[in-house]
Structure 1
């Protein structure tokens, strides 16, 4: 069973379209917050990951969402996040947004282990993810 984190959020009017339903880009914002929450819950906040491993970042290379149910203004939502897959140079963070007992949104982010490129400082390169980091989330 992978290490998971959860956080609660309330759907505010500013998160919604004119019909009072969540405007879809907000789910991706909540996914990003979920990733940061996951790292912090595991004892290695994002900024410490960057500093400890000398990274440029953990940039997204893919993000997707499947909408299974409605989320509306004033709903109390739970965002559950976990790393579902590790590759050599990338990892997949899965996010489930729960509205009551229903998974209303399923999302995934693929992030790379982003290193500075010594040959071109305007670009990043994907590096190998250390086993030490992977073990934290096993």
Structure 2
């Protein structure tokens, strides 16, 4: 069974469109925050610290999807349930289930890479193999 981290979110008025429904890009913002909190909960150091020790600057998204099932609005307390769905050589798939109590609001997933600054051009990034020590911490 995959490890699941639950990240709480308070939906704010500014998260909503004029119809008072959470604007869809915020779901991706909540997924992104939940991804970092997942790694922290597994014992992975903050990205700045990891960059100093390993060169890894983070886990940028290379593909992202979401299915929106039910709306949410300001004042709602919701949770993002995050797990790793699949580990690959240089990428991994993260799964998200956005819940309000037992009610499923949205499901999403993204593919991320572990990245370093490109050795030949620091303004670019380069994917590196998934670090085994991080993988072990997160399983």
Measure how far apart 1:133 and its partner are: 1.4
Decide which structure has greater strand share: 2
- Per the alignment, in what secondary structure is the counterpart of residue 56 of structure 1? strand
After alignment, is 4-13 or 51-60 more displaced? Answer: 51-60
Q: How many residues align?
A: 138
Deviation string 1:2-59 (CA, Å, 9 cap, x unpaired) is 1111122221111101111100111111001101110111111432443442113211
After alignment, is 121-130 or 47-56 more displaced? Answer: 47-56
Structure 1 match to 2:115: 114
| Structure 1 residues 97 and 45: alpha-carbon distance in aligned structure 2, compared to 1, 3 A threshold | farther
Aligned-partner Cα distance in 1 for 2:63–2:10: 26
Structure 1: give runs of 5+ residues left out of the alignment. none
Structure 2: give runs of 5+ residues left out of the alignment. none
Structure 2 match to 1:67: 68
| Structure 1 residues 56 and 81: alpha-carbon distance in aligned structure 2, compared to 1, 3 A threshold | same
TM-score with structure 1 setting the length: 0.91
Any conservation in 1 of the 2:9–2:77 contact (CA below 8 Å)? Answer: yes
Structure 1 match to 2:29: 29
